[in-house]
Amino acid sequence: HLSYFKSKGFETYGIEFASTAVSQAKQNFPDLANNIKVGDFTEKIDYFNGLKFDFIFSNQVLYYTDKKQLKKAIKEIDQVLNPSGLVYFTMIGTQSYYYENSFPLPNSDLRRVTLTGRLNEVTDILFIENEQELVNTFNLFDPLFIGHYDISMREGSGFHFQFLGRKKNQ
């Protein structure tokens, strides 16, 4: 995504939890290397020396946190967003076949997803049930667009909600 937005004339920055992914991104996109950092969005996310952003794009990332971590991440995102800045988030919906292949984890709002076959993975996910829950989750931002996309896969629906919002005037 960083490379795409840069190709459209934007100055881009990114944080990624996995250091191996950061190393690979820096190798594949050396012109972006200084703007990609290893980081944890559930912690303080000021990895760029106080830089504020006009647009924060998070695609298929935030649902790997529990509600408490997500709330903290949203507050951190709000802190590094310029006044009237925009955010774009996606969250996986209960309509996804991932949900059908999951079970609730004890004492958690996450569900353990176990996929076999082509994808063969085990991961923990926070699912969103409907658009109202999506709006409530991202209530620090004024919603501009609420929607969804559905990636049809052999295994089933890859339903994700979309949220485009603007920082609220405070």
Alpha helices (H) along the chain = 2-7, 19-28, 67-79, 97-100, 131-137
Per the listing, tokens 């840069």 go with 6
- The predicted model scores a pTM of 0.91
pLDDT tens digits, the chain, 170 residues: what are they?
Answer: 998 999 999 999 998 888 999 999 999 999 989 999 888 877 777 778 889 999 999 999 999 999 999 999 999 999 999 999 999 999 999 999 999 999 999 999 999 999 988 888 999 999 999 999 999 999 999 999 999 999 888 888 999 999 999 999 76
Q: What is the pLDDT of residues 111-144, one digit of tens each?
A: 999 998 888 899 999 999 999 999 999 999 999 9
**Amino acid letter at 143?**
P
The closest of 92, 74, 90, 94 to 162, measured between CA atoms, is: 90
Query: Checking DSSP bridges between strand 102-104 and strand 111-115, what pairing results, if any?
Result: antiparallel
